């Protein structure tokens, strides 16, 4: 049953919440997702509000009868071998901190660089308007490192602008270009400051690459500050087509926060000028790199 005495099915409600969270993490409006998925916006809204098709509940019941997860019944990469299933069982009830330690150890086993190499390859992550480009350029100049704005490198790979990539080839193509640009930057530069696009945390493989090879800093600010800074730069895109720009931004930040939080350190730029933020950020890195006299 989808509803019992007016109460929505908890599974469908949780499913809707996951759909909204994934949409926010990728920075997509419901309209854009509906177009990409080739479903009606109304149908997608019903799914997000916990009013999805009841057929999914049949699969849930069958999975319960078979004493397996819904993912195992449907089939995904973690159901492809007994070893995957054993790993899932071992990790299923672990805390976030336990899972983080396992991820770091796995990265070391498979040859990712260690902390002493990562420290000289600095990546700034966070939403647009956090100051990644401005602070990144200043930090690179101060440290004598090259500076890369990854969005520009993506455009070089694609031979067109970011908006054209999305319009002509779609989000999946953009993510491929994004990963290629990051991989090339890592291969070329042992010392560098990289300003990353806000949605780089949307792809798990790219995020793993970033965390394994770069010392990551989450430049954090309040949603209102992100929006006002971008608009102050003359970029009105955050306001285009949405009367609820700040609410959309809050939803995106909420969806991405658990992934931004995987950064090595968090630096809050709220209620600070760029000059104040830079002084504190520069001091932190000079101390980390043992450059203070």
Helix (H, G, I), strand (E, B) or coil at 221: coil
Exposed e or buried b per residue across 135-168, where buried means at least 16 C-beta atoms within 10 angstroms of its C-beta? bbebbbeebebebbbbbebbbeebeeebeebeee
**Is-contact 127 164, C-beta < 8 A?**
no
- Indicate the pLDDT class of residue 195, thresholds 50, 70 and 90: very high
User: Given a cut of 70, is residue 265 above it in pLDDT?
Assistant: yes
- Indicate the pLDDT class of residue 19, thresholds 50, 70 and 90: confident
pLDDT digits (tens, 9 = 90+) for 98-131: 998 998 888 878 766 556 678 899 999 998 888 8
**DSSP secondary structure code for residue 67 in this structure:** T
Indicate the burial class of 76 (C-beta count within 10 angstroms; 0-12, 13-18, 19 or more). Answer: exposed
- The reported pLDDT for the residue numbered 185 is 94
Ranges for all domains in the chain classified under CATH 1.10.260.40: 3-87
Helix (H, G, I), strand (E, B) or coil at 241: coil
Averaged confidence pLDDT in the chain: 83
Alpha-carbon span 188 to 191, nearest angstrom: 9
For 29, left (φ over 0), alpha (ψ -120 to 50), or beta?
A: beta
- The reported pLDDT for the residue numbered 260 is 94
Sign of dihedral through CA atoms 158, 257, 230, 236? positive
CATH architecture label of 115-288: 3-Layer(aba) Sandwich (3.40)
Question: Looking at residues 15-37, what average pLDDT do you find?
Answer: 85
Looking at 1.10.760.10, 1.10.260.40, 1.10.490.10, 3.40.50.1000, the CATH number of the domain 3-87 comes to 1.10.260.40
Question: Looking at residues 191-197, what average pLDDT do you find?
Answer: 95
């Amino acid at each position: 049953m989808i509803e019992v005495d007016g109460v929505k099915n908890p599974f469908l409600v949780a499913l809707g919440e996951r759909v909204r969270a994934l949409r926010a993490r990728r920075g997509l409006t419901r309209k854009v997702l509906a177009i990409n998925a080739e479903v009606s916006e109304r149908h997608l809204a019903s799914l997000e509000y916990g009013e999805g098709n009841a057929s999914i509940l049949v699969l849930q019941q069958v999975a319960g009868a078979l004493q397996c997860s819904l993912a195992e019944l449907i089939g995904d990469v973690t159901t492809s071998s007994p070893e995957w299933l054993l790993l899932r069982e071992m990790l299923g009830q672990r805390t976030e901190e336990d899972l983080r330690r396992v991820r770091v150890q796995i990265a070391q086993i498979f040859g990712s660089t260690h902390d002493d190499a990562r420290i000289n390859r600095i990546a700034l992550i966070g939403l647009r308007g956090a100051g990644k480009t401005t602070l990144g350029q200043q930090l690179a100049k101060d440290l004598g490192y090259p500076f890369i704005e990854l969005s520009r490198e993506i455009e070089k790979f694609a031979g067109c602008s970011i908006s054209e990539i999305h319009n002509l080839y779609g989000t999946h193509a953009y993510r491929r270009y994004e990963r290629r640009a990051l991989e090339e930057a890592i291969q070329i530069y042992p010392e560098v400051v990289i300003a990353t696009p806000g949605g780089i945390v949307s792809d798990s493989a790219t995020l793993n690459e970033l965390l394994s090879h770069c010392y990551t800093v989450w430049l954090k600010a309040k949603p209102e500050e992100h929006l006002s800074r971008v608009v102050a730069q003359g970029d009105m895109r955050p306001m285009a087509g949405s009367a609820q720009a700040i609410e959309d931004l809050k939803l995106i930040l909420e969806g991405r926060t658990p992934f931004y939080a995987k950064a090595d350190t968090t630096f809050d730029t709220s209620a600070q000028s760029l000059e104040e933020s830079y002084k504190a950020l520069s001091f932190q890195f000079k101390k980390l790199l043992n450059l203070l006299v």
